[in-house]
Structure 1
Amino acid sequence: MSLIFVAPDRSLSAWKDAIHKVDPNLDVEIWPQIDNPKRVQFAVCWNQPKHVLDNYPNLKAVSSLGAGVDHLLEDDFLPADVNICRVVSSSLIQQMKEYVLGTVISIQRNFVHYIRQKDQQQWQAHTHPLASDLAIGIMGLGKLGKPVAQQLSELGYQVNGWSRSPKTIENISTFAGRDEFSAFLQKTQILVCLLPLTDETNGILDLETLKQLQSPSWIINVARGEHLVDEDLIYALDTDIIKGAWLDVFSEEPLPDRHAFWNRSNIMITPHIASITQPSEVADQIVENYKRALSGMELNYEVDRQKGY
């Protein structure tokens, strides 16, 4: 029996070492060097190629290498009877809190403008709103969205949250479902997307959504690139519907050299680094779920295929 890692765009030696620190007796292999496909019973994946996961006839379960699972749910070659789980860690939450707070403060205090002014040897002050005057909307109030919203609220920002089902969070105005989506947007100046990617949320950051934000407005996308309709963002920026965007995720990664986002000074780009899984922190979760899968037990952090998270 073996556990395999399938992540062609990641260096995986640290992952293998972390697993062996938890249980040195486990047989751990890294795709594509798999000795015997029939021995594979558990896979840990990130952006796996097509026609990989259907090569293992005894595969019982698959785990995402991170918090997102859309790369697994969208894999038509993953057998329907294979259970899916994710990893959850405090550092993923902390990193996301840091990233979103950093982008919010950079937008609020015009730091990008000042960095560019320094390059041009310009000395010019810009006005900025107080935290208490800035309305931030968090789309998605799950394991990442809720703590992000709470941190911003504790620092004095006006925080609204929107989710699929009703949530109650102290000091945060919450909205739920499509019926309350417009009301949520109309109270938002900086829109932060932390939604899971599902059929319902694919393309949710479209022109209709952007037009309903308070002016001036920004968006921050740290969820999945497919949430955003790229051409709608370009149009909204070029017509002053919104002021700017801070993007860490893209529908195609790495972002192609000729993509229009590169040429827009009001789009900030980071290379999908908002929250990165640390092998040493989640290796015990992976080993635990591997053993649960072998025993026929319910997985920790198991994903509902129908809901998409």
Structure 2
Amino acid sequence: MEIVFASELEADPHAWVAALRDALPEARVRLWGDGAPEGDADFAVVWAPPSDLFVREPRLRALFNLGAGVDALLRLPGLPDSLPLVRLEDGGMAVQMAEYTLYHLLRESRDFGRYERQQAQEQWRPLGDIDRDAWTVGVLGAGAMGARVAQACAALEYPTAVWSRSGRSVPGAESYCGEQGLASFLARTRVLVNALPLTDATRGILCRRTFDRLRPDAVVINIARGGHLVEADLLAALDEGRLRAAALDVFEREPLPPGHPFWTDARIRVTPHIAGASLMDRTVRQIAGKIRALDRGEAVSGVVDRDRQY
């Protein structure tokens, strides 16, 4: 069994190769482009793989992604129709995304940003008590990431709801689905958290029409994909007072280019796609278990439905 690790973005690919070798001692694991003979890999583990992957590795039996989102993989040139794509199921990302969301939710709802500004001015001025009913949270997406985010918010007694295509239920949160459900979901939401997969149906969902349906003085938190957000609509909604703040971890173009208006807008908090990183140990254990199962001819979870795009 041969495995190739291929990534054009991973800072330390050798560490991933070493971890995969430790977890799968029976396999030959090599790094893409290391000069070793190519063309015989059974499995590929990738994150932003090279565009000629399938030309140089035509015998792949499955492709494992180091993240939950597979929109970039579906656009790879030469992707074989029959090749199973296996997305990462959590891998330590969900709890990090919950932490990220809670940080920004608490900063807004507890006025911590205002207290920071008061400290800079040496002001001692307690603000009003929190009214959690005024800080309704709505999570777009009820998969592993969205469900964990919703449960974390609900555990702190914020009124929480989730919206998904399937109407999947999440303990502690109201559930909405479909276009009719989306309108009702947005109408009761003040803090909107996006944890959806990026598909043809969800691209641009964070737009003027969505922002206009939210409760007044709303906050948007995007931890999914940059393609979900219409950037001009966000800036307009902030300028018009429709939104009070946004926390953005993902962008249509990454890295976010110098001079982009998001960098200097005090109403927008920018982070460099770090809301939920794949933790190496957990990720490798999950992938190794699935590779062994596939090698035995067994079915595995996390296989992408090409029609649904996740």
- TM-score normalised by structure 2 residue count: 0.93
1:6 and 2:6 are equivalent in the alignment: yes
Question: Which deviates more from structure 2 when the two are superposed, residues 61-70 or residues 122-131?
Answer: 122-131
CA contact (8 A) 1:42 1:293 kept: no
Residue type at the aligned position of 2:259 = R
Q: Work out the percentage of aligned pairs sharing the same amino acid.
A: 35
Question: Which deviates more from structure 2 when the two are superposed, residues 283-292 or residues 215-224?
Answer: 283-292
How many residues were matched structurally?
309
Q: 2:66: which partner in 1?
A: 65
Could you say if the C-alpha distance between residues 213 and 34 of structure 1 is closer, same or farther in structure 2, counting changes exceeding 3 Å? Answer: farther
1:38 and 2:33 are equivalent in the alignment: no
Q: 2:224: which partner in 1?
A: 223
Aligned counterparts of 1:172 and 1:291: Cα–Cα separation in 2: 37
Could you say if the C-alpha distance between residues 120 and 2 of structure 1 is closer, same or farther in structure 2, counting changes exceeding 3 Å? Answer: farther
Q: Give CA deviations for 1:16-58 in whole Å, capped at 9, x if unaligned.
A: 2221222223211222225222211211111223233332110
Aligned counterparts of 1:144 and 1:64: Cα–Cα separation in 2: 16
* Cα deviation, residue 77, structure 1: 2.7
Question: Which deviates more from structure 2 when the two are superposed, residues 179-188 or residues 44-53?
Answer: 44-53
Question: Which deviates more from structure 2 when the two are superposed, residues 182-191 or residues 281-290?
Answer: 281-290
* Cα deviation, residue 3, structure 1: 0.9
Aligned counterparts of 2:90 and 2:219: Cα–Cα separation in 1: 28
CA contact (8 A) 1:95 1:274 kept: yes
Could you say if the C-alpha distance between residues 70 and 244 of structure 1 is closer, same or farther in structure 2, counting changes exceeding 3 Å? Answer: same
Aligned counterparts of 2:272 and 2:26: Cα–Cα separation in 1: 36
Aligned counterparts of 1:75 and 1:124: Cα–Cα separation in 2: 55
Could you say if the C-alpha distance between residues 60 and 30 of structure 1 is closer, same or farther in structure 2, counting changes exceeding 3 Å? Answer: same
CA contact (8 A) 2:142 2:169 kept: no
Aligned counterparts of 1:120 and 1:12: Cα–Cα separation in 2: 46
| SS at structure 1 position matched to 2:67 | coil
* Cα deviation, residue 151, structure 1: 2.1
Unpaired runs of 5+ residues, structure 1, are: none
Could you say if the C-alpha distance between residues 112 and 211 of structure 1 is closer, same or farther in structure 2, counting changes exceeding 3 Å? Answer: same
Unpaired runs of 5+ residues, structure 2, are: none
Aligned counterparts of 1:151 and 1:280: Cα–Cα separation in 2: 24
Map 1:95-244 → 2, pairs under 5 A:
95-127=96-128, 129-244=130-245
- TM-score normalised by structure 1 residue count: 0.93
CA contact (8 A) 2:94 2:144 kept: yes
Aligned counterparts of 2:50 and 2:41: Cα–Cα separation in 1: 17
Q: 1:306: which partner in 2?
A: 307
* Cα deviation, residue 102, structure 1: 1.4
